[in-house]
């Protein structure tokens, strides 16, 4: 039975981009600031992943092209994989490291259902906001959002038949 919610087909893939960034030395980071970063990044990834897994499990039919399971992609960040780069932004680094750990744990939990859960970990994205915040930086080494989108699109597609539990660095020239 094909169920549609609000005119949408049943969920097969979910990409979780919500999050935020804040930078301050550890001695100037309040508990509220730390909790805010954790909520914006780790808790949002957890809540979205949990809801997506429930929706994928309840689908009751194969996905695109008859594919089993589903796909979930979270967004971590380079400091999650290289915490020493998180100097001066410990709350953000800790929250994104939690996203990476969450991704790997959920990937193992859902592997038998072929719900492949992965994350990307970009370095600095070449966005207007980042250029404005760091006007003296070398933008040529930054990653274009479209490059990250290509990796996400593959991980979320039925073409991804084997990659699960990965936190993929998307660093460009940085």
The catalytic position among 12, 34, 38, 92 is 92
Three-state DSSP at 99 gives: helix
Q: How many angstroms separate the CA atoms of 118 and 168, rounded?
A: 8
Helices 31-38 and 90-110, axial angle in degrees (round to 10): 30
**Cβ(81)–Cβ(121) below 8 Å:** yes
Query: Which H or E element spans position 121?
Result: strand 115-122
Both tokens of 23, joined, read 């930078």
Both tokens of 41, joined, read 């990044």
Q: Is 171 a catalytic residue?
A: no
The candidate with the shortest Cα–Cα distance to 49, out of 107, 92, 3, 2, is 107
The candidate with the shortest Cα–Cα distance to 95, out of 166, 26, 19, 148, is 19
Q: Which of the residues are catalytic? A: 92
């Amino acid at each position: 039975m094909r169920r549609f919610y609000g005119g949408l087909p049943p969920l097969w893939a979910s990409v979780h981009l919500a999050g935020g960034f804040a930078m301050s030395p550890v001695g100037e980071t309040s508990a509220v600031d730390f909790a805010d970063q954790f909520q914006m990044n780790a808790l949002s990834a957890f809540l979205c992943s949990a809801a997506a897994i429930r929706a994928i499990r309840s689908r009751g039919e194969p996905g695109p092209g008859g594919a089993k399971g589903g796909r979930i992609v979270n967004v971590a960040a380079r400091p999650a994989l290289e915490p020493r780069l998180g100097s001066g932004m410990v709350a953000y680094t800790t929250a994104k490291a939690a996203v990476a750990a969450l991704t790997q744990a959920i990937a193992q939990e859902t592997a038998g259902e072929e719900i492949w859960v992965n994350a990307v970990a970009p370095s600095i994205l070449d966005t207007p906001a980042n250029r404005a915040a760091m006007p003296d930086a070398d933008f040529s080494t930054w990653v274009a959002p479209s490059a990250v989108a290509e990796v996400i699109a593959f991980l979320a597609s039925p073409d991804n038949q084997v990659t699960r539990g990965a936190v993929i660095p998307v660093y460009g020239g940085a």
